[in-house]
Structure 1
Amino acid sequence: MRIFHIATAADWQAAEESGSYTTSTLGRTLAEEGFIHASRSDQWEGVRAAFYADVAEPLVLLEIDTDLLDVPVVEEVPAPGISETFPHVYGAIPAAAVVDVRPLEA
């Protein structure tokens, strides 16, 4: 399965250098949040509009192949009052599991 994650270009560059991606969401680490937020293909644009619209630094869209992960991916409701589930990655994402990186236009 393919899932998606919006990242700053700087966070992705750091992940390429270290070999793993550990940013949960904008300004929060995996250690702070407990998982990495992700989206399905039909969700990432809405996530971008809701949470990244005011971000001035360059963003990229990571396409992650879940078959290449060695940590659980769980479909969960992100907050009370929301009925739609989102994939949450419970561990670091190996850079090798990211099969495509697309720059997102401002």
Structure 2
Amino acid sequence: MDTTPFLHISNPAEWEAVRAAGVIAPPSLDEVGFVHLSTPEQVALPANRIYGGRTDLLLLVLDPERIGVEVRFEPGVPTDPGSMRFPHAYGPIPASAVVDVRPYAPGPDGSFGPPDLDG
């Protein structure tokens, strides 16, 4: 069984909202019907595309066994079926699925690299 965690990019205010509500249910859940997730190997791609240069990001590290909703690997670019497939969670994710929270800072050039999930 694959135990690779899923990651959800967040920030301190969003993380506090998750803790208060008990679920991860960002606006994307209403807007597109799913919660955006990444694997550790993928997370730098959306971080650089959407959050370049931000210094307040957190990575919510999720246990796939605790997510409790359907997760589908789908193209990151919906109009390009050949594009990289990202995990999408189709429903609110219980906060209990979060097994770690890690700061995710960009490097000196402002870009994000692979996350340190061991340290």
Structure 2 unmatched ranges of 5 or more: 107-119
Partner-residue secondary structure (3-state), 1:13: helix
**After superposition, where does 1:79-94 map in structure 2 within 5 Å?**
79=77, 80-81=79-80, 83-94=83-94
Partner-residue secondary structure (3-state), 2:39: coil
Distance between the aligned counterparts of 1:5 and 1:31, measured in 2? 16
Larger radius of gyration: 2
**After superposition, where does 1:12-91 map in structure 2 within 5 Å?**
12-23=15-26, 28-55=27-54, 58-79=56-77, 80-81=79-80, 83-91=83-91
Residues 78 and 46 of structure 1: CA distance in aligned 2, closer, same or farther (over 3 Å): closer
Give the structure with the higher percent strand: 1
Structure 1 unmatched ranges of 5 or more: none
Partner-residue secondary structure (3-state), 1:29: helix
Give the root-mean-square deviation of aligned CA atoms: 1.6
Residues 29 and 76 of structure 1: CA distance in aligned 2, closer, same or farther (over 3 Å): closer
Q: Structure 1 length normalisation: TM-score? A: 0.86
Q: How many residues matched?
A: 101
